[in-house]
Chains A and B, each alone.
Chain A
Amino acid sequence: DAGVIQSPRHEVTEMGQEVTLRCKPISGHNSLFWYRQTMMRGLELLIYFNNNVPIDDSGMPEDRFSAKMPNASFSTLKIQPSEPRDSAVYFCASTNARLAVAYEQYFGPGTRLTVT
């Protein structure tokens, strides 16, 4: 089975540009998570969706960040406008959630974003 797919794997952009990161979760999974990893802050949860509905976006840094999940097989994380401090590795993860049971999340390979 294909794992979580993220694109692009690497993105280099200039400050002020719009950046869109994409994620395809594992087929059949109903929960999707966006994380950001930096040396300074470690692994941070940005937002997560259950059944395509955003549940908790308290980790989204500011209004420049937005995320959507139009259907069960696709999600985007957009940064507009981008800033150098947004440089990080962005991970997408998915899991097959059940009522009152927590299952492991499977992570994509990540997108390394560099904003110059």
Chain B
Amino acid sequence: AQKVTQAQTEISVVEKEDVTLDCVYETRDTTYYLFWYKQPPSGELVFLIRRNSFDEQNEISGRYSWNFQKSTSSFNFTITASQVVDSAVYFCALSEARPTQGGSEKLVFGKGMKLTVNP
């Protein structure tokens, strides 16, 4: 069975601090995809990144970076020089990639981690 664990439930930092959000996953498949979503106080869920299991290269997008390590089944997310606008709940998610009637597999979400960035 698939499982995503976000051990941290809530983190509070001061603006300009770096913060890392942990994500550990479990799956039996060799082909799978990992995702991060952001849910700001306004409530919508915003897609941040998708990574497949064959690509372990770290990715950087502005102040955001992601560290994917298959050896530890982790897909951690780091925000550098955090800003107040980064305050949100962040979700890590996992999807297997087996074909199912030509369509999608479901996403398994972690419980989410609430990040508060104080000025």
Contact = CB atoms under 8 A, between A and B. Distances in A.
Contacts of A97: 102-104
Nearest to A33: B106
Chain A interface residue number, banded: 20 to 34
A30 B109 contact: no
A99 B99 contact: yes
By CB atoms of chain A within 10 A, which of B45, B96, B111, B112 has the most?
A: B45
Contact of A100 (B43, B44, B99, B109): B99
Q: Chain A: interface secondary structure?
A: strand
Contacts of A105: 47, 104, 107
A63 interface: no
Contact of B91 (A43, A49, A53): A43
A14 B95 CA distance: 37
A116 interface: no
B104 A50 contact: yes
A101 B103 contact: no
A25 to B, nearest CB: 12
Nearest to B34: A102
Interface in A31-64: 31, 33, 42-43, 45, 48-51, 53, 55-56
B91 A31 contact: no
B17 interface: no
Nearest to A47: B106
A42 B5 CA distance: 13
Contacts of B101: 50-51, 53, 55
B112 A107 contact: no
Given A43-B109, A91-B45, A102 B97 contact: yes
Contact of B103 (A31, A89, A107, A109): A31
A33 B73 CA distance: 26
7 contacts: A31-B103, A45-B106, A50-B100, A51-B102, A91-B45, A104-B50, A105-B47
Interface of A: 30-31, 33, 42-43, 45, 48-51, 53, 55-56, 89, 91, 93, 95, 97, 99-107, 109-110
The 7 lowest CB-CB distance pairs between A and B, nearest first, are A50-B103, A97-B104, A31-B104, A102-B95, A107-B45, A102-B33, A104-B47
